[in-house]
Amino acid sequence: MRTENLFIAAKDELNLVLSFFSRVDARASVALAIDTGMLAVLATNTPAVHAMSWSSLIAIAPVVLIGISLYHLYKAAFPRLDGGQSSLVYFQEIARRTEHKFISEFMAQSEDDYVKDLLSQTWRNAEILKQKFGSLKYAYIFLGLAILPWLATLAVFALNHSQALFLK
């Protein structure tokens, strides 16, 4: 392939990989909204400490599972960004230089070096996406596992509440 074609292909490949970031972040936002909503519903339905019975301990399960889901969402939001040493494409490496040094190094590189740097950046972003999608997968798994104990906890809280009203 000619250098010009390699440059276009490398740039297109990087743009393709970068386009997946918004997809994973959108899905993570949905999971975050569901997780926090489920916790909010639990919190608003939790009886006062003095009114709790042993059956209220069931609330531990969904809280732990949702907590694990939130942990994986955190990992998806903040993946490891190390790598890209000496890159003139990778934002962290660019930011380590002064403006003048970045411009002069960028202008001095060969076309082959630039194509290699684009491809390295593509590979590194693919690695980051793999981490983000993996973390998102586990966030959804633990969110799904939390649904039944969450519903059971709400039922126990409602039952305890209705019994407390009945006994008054």
Q: Answer whether residue 163 shows pLDDT above 80.
A: no
Query: What's the rounded mean pLDDT across residues 83-103?
Result: 90
Query: Helices (H), strands (E): how many in the chain?
Result: 5, 0
Can you say whether residue 76 is alpha, beta or left, with left for phi > 0 and alpha for psi between -120 and 50 degrees?
Answer: alpha
Q: Answer whether residue 168 shows pLDDT above 80.
A: no
| Integer Cα distance of 38 and 61 in angstroms | 13
pLDDT of residue 46: 85
pLDDT of residue 166: 54
pLDDT above 90: percentage of residues in the chain: 71
pLDDT of residue 55: 76
Q: Answer whether residue 126 shows pLDDT above 90.
A: yes
pLDDT of residue 165: 55
Locate tokens 């890209």: which residue? 84
Query: Which comes out higher in pLDDT, residue 79 or 50?
Result: 79
pLDDT of residue 1: 58
Terminal Cα-to-Cα distance of the chain (whole angstroms): 83
Q: Answer whether residue 74 shows pLDDT above 90.
A: yes
7: tokens are 């440059």
Q: Answer whether residue 167 shows pLDDT above 70.
A: no
Q: Answer whether residue 164 shows pLDDT above 70.
A: no
pTM: 0.84
E-strand ranges in the chain read none
DSSP 8-state code for residue 51: G
Could you tell me if 157 and 45 are in contact, meaning their C-beta atoms sit under 8 angstroms apart?
yes
Integer Rg of the chain from CA = 25
pLDDT of residue 162: 65
pLDDT in tens, 11-36: 999 999 999 999 999 999 999 999 99
